[in-house]
């Protein structure tokens, strides 16, 4: 991938078969030449068999990536880079860990590879431990669909890195489930093996605190509530993985005189999986 520099950086779009585009989180303009084999060749020619298998499996990676992104809940708004690409890449790692299925049809088992998502940061500029400098403890109970996060009392002037020099901050916690992904025998497409829980989760936003004051200890309890008429409950099936994430968001005074979050001012990470 080429990078454009100098005066050409103001160009965007396609000119004479060359496309100029930008990526979130970067001020550079990237250059890509259009062209390549036709769709018909890719679909039928023997030399593209491996490519067809890879393309088919990529649908599973994007399905898993989308579900993992949504499972970040309230901290997804703190992302300062194109997070779905990073999630798709993790999906590919999960898929490659499957050495049992045929290439082109490999299922994605997050339930067997939780370490690949654990510790994921939604910010590339700051990490949670460098911004919120107090020990966070957490527990997750998949048998009950509950979690607890304890954040000690915070003296913001000592234990909060206010790197944007903003007047407010708040804490954000989320827990959602992610299903494994496999090829459906009905649709022959990649789908969640257990979609019954993935639309439900639990989240918490603290009050806004001043960045030059003290905040009391926060003991945050989360519980996933499923619809009363569902056939499914807890404990959850083994093909589900619960994702617990914590973040800190910085804010300023909004137009109504109340604190409001500032875009890209914050950080968060996946602290536990179960």
Which of 61, 43, 59, 60 lies closest to 51 in space, CA to CA?
Answer: 43
Give the residue, 41 or 40, on which the prediction is more confident. Answer: 40
DSSP-derived secondary structure for 46-88 = GGGHHHHHHHHHHHHHHHHHHHHHHTTGGGGGG--S-HHHHHH
> By three-state DSSP, how is residue 11 classified?
coil
Which of 250, 257, 168 lies closest to 213 in space, CA to CA?
Answer: 168
What digits encode the pLDDT tens for the residues 150-173?
Answer: 999 999 999 999 999 999 999 999
Residue with tokens 């403890």, as numbered in its chain = 137
Which residues face 246 on adjacent strands?
Answer: 173, 269
Q: Please report the sign of the dihedral spanned by the C-alpha atoms of residue 93, residue 63, residue 205, residue 196.
A: negative
Could you count the other beta carbons within 10 Å of the beta carbon of residue 269?
20
Name the pLDDT band for 34 (thresholds 50, 70, 90).
Answer: low
What digits encode the pLDDT tens for the residues 185-243?
Answer: 899 999 999 998 888 999 999 999 999 999 999 999 999 998 766 677 888 899 999 99
pLDDT at 199: 86
Give the residue, 10 or 208, on which the prediction is more confident. Answer: 208
Q: What is the domain partition of the chain in residue ranges?
A: 2-33, 39-273
**pLDDT higher than threshold 60 for residue 47:** no
What digits encode the pLDDT tens for the residues 263-272?
Answer: 999 999 999 9
Mean pLDDT of 1-24: 59
In sequence order, the 6+-apart residues with CB closer than 8 A to the CB of 80 are 25, 122, 123, 124, 125, 264
The model's pTM? 0.82
**pLDDT higher than threshold 90 for residue 147:** yes
DSSP letter (8 states) at residue 9: G
Mean pLDDT of 27-56: 62
20-34, 135-149, 186-200, 243-257, range with the lowest pLDDT? 20-34
Q: What's the whole-number average pLDDT of the chain?
A: 88
């Amino acid at each position: 991938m080429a990078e454009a520099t100098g005066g050409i950086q103001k160009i965007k779009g396609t000119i004479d078969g060359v496309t100029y585009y930008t990526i979130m989180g970067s001020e550079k303009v990237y250059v890509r030449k259009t062209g390549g084999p036709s769709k018909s060749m890719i679909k039928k020619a023997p030399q593209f068999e491996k490519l067809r298998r890879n393309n088919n499996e990529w649908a599973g990676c994007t399905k898993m990536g989308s579900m993992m992104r949504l499972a970040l809940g309230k901290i997804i708004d703190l992302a300062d880079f194109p997070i779905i690409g990073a999630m798709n890449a993790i999906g590919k790692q999960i898929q490659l860990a499957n050495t049992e299925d045929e290439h082109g049809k490999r299922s994605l088992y997050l339930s067997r590879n939780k370490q690949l998502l654990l510790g994921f940061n939604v910010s590339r500029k700051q990490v949670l431990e460098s911004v919120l400098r107090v020990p966070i403890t957490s527990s997750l109970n998949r048998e009950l669909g509950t979690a607890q996060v304890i954040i000690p009392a915070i003296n913001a002037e000592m234990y909060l890195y206010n790197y944007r020099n903003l007047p407010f901050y708040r804490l954000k916690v989320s827990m959602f489930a992610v299903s494994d992904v496999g090829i459906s025998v009905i649709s022959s497409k990649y789908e969640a093996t257990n979609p019954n829980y993935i639309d439900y989760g639990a989240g918490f936003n603290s009050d806004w605190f001043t960045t030059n004051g003290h905040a009391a200890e926060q003991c945050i309890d989360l519980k996933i509530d499923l619809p009363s008429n569902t056939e499914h409950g807890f404990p959850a099936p083994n093909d589900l993985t619960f994702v617990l994430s914590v973040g800190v968001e910085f804010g300023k005074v909004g137009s109504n005189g109340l604190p409001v979050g500032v875009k890209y001012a914050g950080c968060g990470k996946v602290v536990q999986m179960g």
